[in-house]
Amino acid sequence: MINITLPDGAVRKYENGVSAFDIAKSISEGLARKIIAAQVNGEVWDISRPIQNDASLKLLTFIDNEGRTTFWHSSAHLMAEAVEQLYPGVKFWVGPAVDNGFYYDMDLGDHKLAEEDLQALEKKMNELARQNNKFERKEIRKEEAINYFTEKGDQYKLDLLQNLQDGEITFYSQGSFTDLCRGPHIPHTGLIKAIKLTNIAGAYWKGDEKNKQLIRVYGVTFPSQKEMDEHLAMLEEAKKRDHRKLGKELGIYTMDDDVGPGLPLWLPNGTIIIEELEKLAKETETDGGYKRVVTPHIAKENLYLTSGHLPYYEDSMYPPMELEGVKYYLKAMNCPHHHKIFAAEPKSYKDLPFRLAEYGTCYRYEQSGELFGLMRVRCLHMNDAHIYCTKEQFYEEFKAVNDMYRKYFKIFGIDKYVMRLSLHDPAKRGKKYVDEPELWKETELLVRDVLIKTETPFVEVQDEAAFYGPKIDVQIWSAIGREFTLATNQVDFAQGRSFNLSYTTANNQSDTPLIIHRAPLGTHERFIGFLLEHYAGKFPVWLAPVQVKLLPISDKYLDYAKTILQKLKKADIRAEIDDRNEKIGKKIRDTEMLKVPYMLVVGEKEMNEEKVAVRRQGKGVTGVQFVEEFINATRNEIMERKD
Amino acid sequence: MINITLPDGAVRKYENGVSAFDIAKSISEGLARKIIAAQVNGEVWDISRPIQNDASLKLLTFIDNEGRTTFWHSSAHLMAEAVEQLYPGVKFWVGPAVDNGFYYDMDLGDHKLAEEDLQALEKKMNELARQNNKFERKEIRKEEAINYFTEKGDQYKLDLLQNLQDGEITFYSQGSFTDLCRGPHIPHTGLIKAIKLTNIAGAYWKGDEKNKQLIRVYGVTFPSQKEMDEHLAMLEEAKKRDHRKLGKELGIYTMDDDVGPGLPLWLPNGTIIIEELEKLAKETETDGGYKRVVTPHIAKENLYLTSGHLPYYEDSMYPPMELEGVKYYLKAMNCPHHHKIFAAEPKSYKDLPFRLAEYGTCYRYEQSGELFGLMRVRCLHMNDAHIYCTKEQFYEEFKAVNDMYRKYFKIFGIDKYVMRLSLHDPAKRGKKYVDEPELWKETELLVRDVLIKTETPFVEVQDEAAFYGPKIDVQIWSAIGREFTLATNQVDFAQGRSFNLSYTTANNQSDTPLIIHRAPLGTHERFIGFLLEHYAGKFPVWLAPVQVKLLPISDKYLDYAKTILQKLKKADIRAEIDDRNEKIGKKIRDTEMLKVPYMLVVGEKEMNEEKVAVRRQGKGVTGVQFVEEFINATRNEIMERKD
């Protein structure tokens, strides 16, 4: 018998060689029908694979990231099967799952695939899916694998085989199709109920433009048509809410070739949003007992050698500037500078927790091809802070950070979020992770403990920790259900030692503080990109670049509008007058386009009564109010940061 | 007869060959006794030198920068004469005037000059000064000059002669001493009434440590003992107010070897001051109709080639980072980024004036040896803005900027200031200055016109303009009378063209805007350095990092102190409690040291009456107040930014 530990901590006993599917069935038949893969000791497995030793087990369905990834990876195999049946002789390169589906790169010889061909392919895939063909895993010797693909004449797979050894080669087959594949896969094709091939693109073999261009077909699949419909509707809506489109229309940011890729220039409207976010963060952090600091954007190489970012992180940094024989780097993170501030003056236990906050601007190198609007940039304005505390203070500090995240989620109407707890891989200590076995164990336990005790929704992932400690990535969903990775929250037991940070304990000993790295609002770049989509550009009043637009019906009421403008400005409400010589209907339409929350129409009646006719963006007239009344209500809405 | 134009615009006629001294005498005998040099067509001359053509003339006394420089340069010659008499055979390198006096570098052979020797030197200088020896100018042929110094055996002067040609070589003699010197000099040594030699240092010949080390003697002189006494008292006070000393004591900033020289890390207290200054600037700029933007700290080489900063300014920039075959530079100024924002959306005359403001952080390369605390750094947080306007709008815009400067001077209690208008040198167009003769003329007139019409105190200097237009440097004096160059205000008629910036005029034509670069608060680095000295660290309440310190007489009153703390925090007053187990006397003394403006002592009586005993830093007890009363008064003091 072996012990199987389930995610809730329950331990069940099973026969040696039991499969995840058997275990699911032993729990519920309904569950067994839905599971598509299983996490065994943190690794994703086929559900039919026998478990031989004690293990932790998580059953995965389509709602789990890893389940979805498996589902889409299997769908790529299904597509390959369909392609092979329709285009015999096709050769395959790789076919992974991606963020929103999957693709497969293939060599169709002289055949040029057209959009029309996709329908036939979809049809064939549906046909094959309905055959409920099992995905069968087979371990295979290298020689045999080479023979198979030599016979098939697929030089791409033979190329892949070069880097593999006996013992690590597996084949997966379903129906008539067999692929070299590490797996895992879903149990059978019948789970794939809805199929959509979305795009055809060219892709150079191995990404090298000197190589042959392969055909890449993208697709997406779901366990039900309903989920497919929702997904496509969401994509349609996401297109309308594209932050790059809205960013331009609303004057939020611009990019410029002479400045460089991935380096947004924030226009006046975008800067207002930045400043409102910073104000919120500063208020929140001041209340939380943080102290603010300002540090330079560069530092000597030596600082990053001490921190260990060099050489670990070098590929993600801008190349150095060499000055007077010293290499200076643009900072890719603020922590080393903050550590230096911690160290600038001697500390005692009375100074802890010591919390340093900075909207620090960091620079990271992302490949040109990876850059995407505000979502993937090279310049990052980070809502950063570092908390230096004792182990005894860790729980409260970590909890306070968690509370801060939740406060922000509430303000921004973010209803769905998950904390993704990234743990290290013990096998990679000394390379990808600092070699401190005890500390890894201890801190991973501490972090998990906080998450469980605070009932924070979270998932665990292996081998994605920061190199200096476990980390939490916060995943949030926008109003239309798109997922964003936003912020991080990292524990650090390594840098305190590297920087010789210390404090005097109550017993007059010297000890090293634990460090929490946290950035609840992430970066301006990504967060404002998210907000543009989330609000579809219709920012709540407190964030709106222009909060109120005055629309005089004619020039006759311009002076009255100007007196109101002065009152609004005095009340710190961002307001403008549309003084164009246009009809009121056009003024309203244009202001609606600019997504200004409030429009105040003023004409004869309003002027005589010292009132304004209030229109809410997207909602039409909401009433006629005295000017002071409107100002008070709006001030209140702004102060409370109403959503 | 020739026409001599005086600074007030008056034109007087004199005989051809008249000297500045003759002209001074013709105005007043008293003036003639005080003048020490003259500015003839912008060039500084000996007052005895004959003027042969029509010229503009400014008579210089010790209060003029150029007058003072001449006085101290002549004092260096006087010192050299004294040295030569006491140490025959001495050889001289160079002896210029510097910020606060003068020095001379010399080779005394084997003699090691000691502090004691300075007294004897001063005595000899006084003796020689009282001889009223004339400074006599003599134009000399190169050959003759070489003979003179060959005979004297002074290889240093022979080295200097190498780079000079016939027609540009002059000797100056006074008493027994003759020097190779371009001049000008004061009329005679008798004007030097007070002499102090301040320091002996070593200085490698030509600054190269492979060369011989020469002896550098520093000194300072004045036309009266009274001025010398005031100067020495000011230096003494300045030492106490040294911003590096106060910066450390008050936790304002720190430097770190691993980060790099000239790159301050702003500690929490310094960051509070930064944020208060930024708040002031943002409020003022918002009222002034500025829009805020945020731009990256780097840009491609091409941006700076367009702006012309490369290659003109390359020596002052950090070296490039080469990425994907493109050179990126850290920005040394914000203007090119702002121009790109101006250009991001089409502009019409209705959009002008278009004012973009940013607290942009720039990086400039200053040689390690030049770095000095916060005063000369490599990282500059600039209170920057660029105003794009038409020529018609220029006067009003330039005046508004001037008004802003004056508003700031008032807030910070800066009573003495001078605008230093830097003009270009027509001979250097195409090299040091862009080659646009008409525009130089036009804009220099416009700027001068604004300064005259607004009655702003200003001086004109030749050949110190920015390369793209005339510029104003603002010189201010701290409370103890030390001079600081703070901010600049530049006109730019070149970059608008280089960047193809344009707007559509009312007549539907395309025109290029004029640009004003302005930074009234300069950089945080220099301005906070100035403020530390100006206030001797005793910041007015609105700027003070900790505004109120609560001092409970014993632990018994700690809870009462805590309730007050909450009230203070709620009123946005930065407050702390001294909860140490110390006597109240020590608490007061320690808080005085930290220069916290208000101390609230609370004991039995205060607690019972819900009052606080108020102490003002440096002034002792000022009264007992109800808590609310104190809070209201302090809020008011903060809101009004009282000095």
- Residue numbers of B between 306 and 325 with CB closer than 8 Å to A: 306, 318-324
Closest to B151 measured CA to CA, from B163, B143, B139, B162: B143
Q: What is the DSSP letter of A210?
A: T
What's the pLDDT at B369? 85
Report the percentage of chain A scoring pLDDT > 70.
100
Query: At residue A182, what is the residue type?
Result: R
B338 to chain A: closest CA residue: A265
Dist. CA B147–CA B151, nearest whole Å = 6
What confidence tens digit (pLDDT) does each residue in A298-349 have? 999 999 999 988 988 899 999 999 998 999 999 999 999 999 999 999 999 9
Query: At residue B569, what is the residue type?
Result: K
Q: What top-level class would CATH report for the domain A548-639? A: alpha beta
B325 to chain A: closest CA residue: A319
Same fold, B2-61 and B66-238: no
Dist. CA B471–CA B264, nearest whole Å = 28
pLDDT of residue B612 exceeding 90, the answer is: yes
Give pTM, 2 decimals. 0.86
Paired with B75 in beta bridges are: none
What's the pLDDT at A122? 97
Asked if the bond preceding B552 is cis, omega within 30° of 0, the reply is no
Q: Where are the alpha helices (DSSP H) in B184-300?
A: 225-240, 243-249, 268-287
Dist. CA B160–CA B147, nearest whole Å = 14
What's the pLDDT at A248? 96
Q: Which of A18-22, A431-435, A631-635, B342-346 has the lowest mean pLDDT?
A: A431-435
Dist. CA A615–CA A592, nearest whole Å = 10
Q: What is the DSSP letter of B378?
A: S
pLDDT of residue B442 exceeding 90, the answer is: no
Dist. CA B126–CA B130, nearest whole Å = 6
Closest to A471 measured CA to CA, from A280, A297, A333: A333
B475: its two tokens: 């010189």
Closest to A634 measured CA to CA, from A593, A598, A595: A598
Please list, residue by residue across A205-217, b when 16 or more beta carbons sit within 10 angstroms of its beta carbon and e when fewer do. Answer: beeeeeeeebbbb
Are A360 and A485 in contact, with CB atoms under 8 Å apart?
Answer: no
Would you give the end-to-end CA distance of chain A in angstroms?
55
Dist. CA A300–CA B128, nearest whole Å = 53
Which residue in this structure is represented by tokens 């100056």?
B172
> Has domain B253-535 been given CATH number 3.30.930.10?
yes
What's the pLDDT at B311? 86
Closest to B256 measured CA to CA, from A429, A211, A83, A345: A345
Which residue in this structure is represented by tokens 């789970």?
A191
Question: Beta strand pairing status for B265-266 and B291-292?
Answer: unpaired
What's the pLDDT at A590? 95
From residue B242, alpha-carbon distances to B249, B250, B372, B482 in Å are: 11, 12, 11, 12
Longest dimension (CA), chain B: 93
Instruction: Break chain B into its structural domains and give their ranges.
Output: 2-61, 66-238, 253-535, 548-639
Q: How far is B323 from chain A (nearest CA, A)?
A: 7
Q: How many CB pairs under 8 A join A and B?
A: 162
What residues of chain A lie within 8 A of the CB of B290, using their CB?
none
Residue A355 φ then ψ, to 5°: -115, 115
Question: Beta strand pairing status for B170-174 and B177-180?
Answer: antiparallel
A206: its two tokens: 């191995």
Evaluated on CA atoms A82, A85, A86, A91, the torsion sign reads positive
A563: its two tokens: 């007196």
Q: Which of B253, B255, B259, B568 to mutate to test the interface with A (most CBs of A within 10 A)?
A: B259
What's the pLDDT at A486? 85
Query: At residue B445, what is the residue type?
Result: L
What's the pLDDT at A431? 87
Least CB-CB distance to B271: which of A293, A319, A336?
A: A293
Q: Would you give the distance in Å from CA B603 to the centre of its chain?
A: 48
Confidence label for A462 from pLDDT (cuts 50, 70 and 90): confident
Dist. CA A391–CA B38, nearest whole Å = 73
DSSP H or E run through B126: helix B115-129
Q: How far is A246 from chain B (nearest CA, A)?
A: 15
pLDDT of residue B7 exceeding 90, the answer is: no
- Residue numbers of B between 255 and 284 with CB closer than 8 Å to A: 256-260, 263-268, 270-272, 274-275
Least CB-CB distance to B323: which of A294, A318, A328?
A: A318
A 10 A CB-CB count for B455 gives 7
pLDDT of residue B446 exceeding 90, the answer is: no
Dist. CA A243–CA B454, nearest whole Å = 48
What's the pLDDT at B431? 87
A 10 A CB-CB count for A392 gives 10
What residues of chain A lie within 8 A of the CB of B303, using their CB?
258-259
pLDDT of residue B566 exceeding 90, the answer is: yes
Paired with A363 in beta bridges are: A379
What's the pLDDT at A564? 97
Q: Does B621 touch chain A (CB under 8 A)?
A: no
pLDDT of residue A643 exceeding 90, the answer is: no
Least CB-CB distance to B321: which of A275, A319, A345?
A: A319
What's the pLDDT at B395? 86
What confidence tens digit (pLDDT) does each residue in A406-436 have? 899 999 999 999 999 999 999 999 888 888 8
Verify whether the Cβ–Cβ distance A300 to B259 is below 8 Å: yes
Q: What top-level class would CATH report for the domain A2-61? A: alpha beta
Look up the CATH number of domain B66-238: 3.30.980.10
What confidence tens digit (pLDDT) does each residue in B315-339 have? 999 999 999 899 999 999 999 999 9
Q: How far is A407 from chain B (nearest CA, A)?
A: 20
What SS3 class is residue B574?
coil
Q: What is the rounded (10 degree) CA torsion for B232, B236, B241, B246? A: 140
What confidence tens digit (pLDDT) does each residue in A153-178 have? 999 999 999 989 888 899 999 999 99
A448: its two tokens: 């998990």
What confidence tens digit (pLDDT) does each residue in A37-96 have? 999 988 899 999 999 999 999 999 998 889 999 999 999 999 999 999 999 999 999 999
Find the mean pLDDT for residues B540-562. Answer: 97
Would you give the end-to-end CA distance of chain B in angstroms?
55
SS3 sequence of B27-94: HCHHHHHHCCEEEECCEEECCCCEECCCEEEEEECCCCHHHHHHHHHHHHHHHHHHHHHHCCCCEECC
Least CB-CB distance to B268: which of A254, A293, A302?
A: A293
Verify whether the Cβ–Cβ distance A293 to B265 is below 8 Å: yes
What residues of chain B lie within 8 A of the CB of A271, using their CB?
291-294
Please tell me which residue, B262 or B64, carries the higher pLDDT value.
B262
Dist. CA B349–CA B370, nearest whole Å = 45
Are B24 and B30 in contact, with CB atoms under 8 Å apart?
Answer: no
For all residues of chain A together, what is the average pLDDT?
Answer: 94
Q: Does B545 touch chain A (CB under 8 A)?
A: no
What's the pLDDT at A31? 87
What confidence tens digit (pLDDT) does each residue in B103-140 have? 999 999 988 899 889 999 999 999 999 999 999 999 99
Confidence label for A466 from pLDDT (cuts 50, 70 and 90): confident
Query: At residue A251, what is the residue type?
Result: G
Verify whether the Cβ–Cβ distance B298 to A260 is below 8 Å: yes
pLDDT of residue A565 exceeding 90, the answer is: yes
What confidence tens digit (pLDDT) does each residue in A107-145 have? 999 888 998 899 999 999 999 999 999 999 999 999 999
For all residues of chain B together, what is the average pLDDT?
Answer: 94
Dist. CA A504–CA B574, nearest whole Å = 27
Verify whether the Cβ–Cβ distance B294 to A274 is below 8 Å: yes
Dist. CA A281–CA A289, nearest whole Å = 12
Least CB-CB distance to A303: which of B258, B326, B330?
A: B258
Confidence label for A442 from pLDDT (cuts 50, 70 and 90): confident
Are B125 and B149 in contact, with CB atoms under 8 Å apart?
Answer: no
Complex-level ipTM: 0.85
What residues of chain A lie within 8 A of the CB of B270, using their CB?
294
Are B221 and B192 in contact, with CB atoms under 8 Å apart?
Answer: yes
What's the pLDDT at A439? 81
Verify whether the Cβ–Cβ distance A267 to B298 is below 8 Å: no
What's the pLDDT at A166? 87
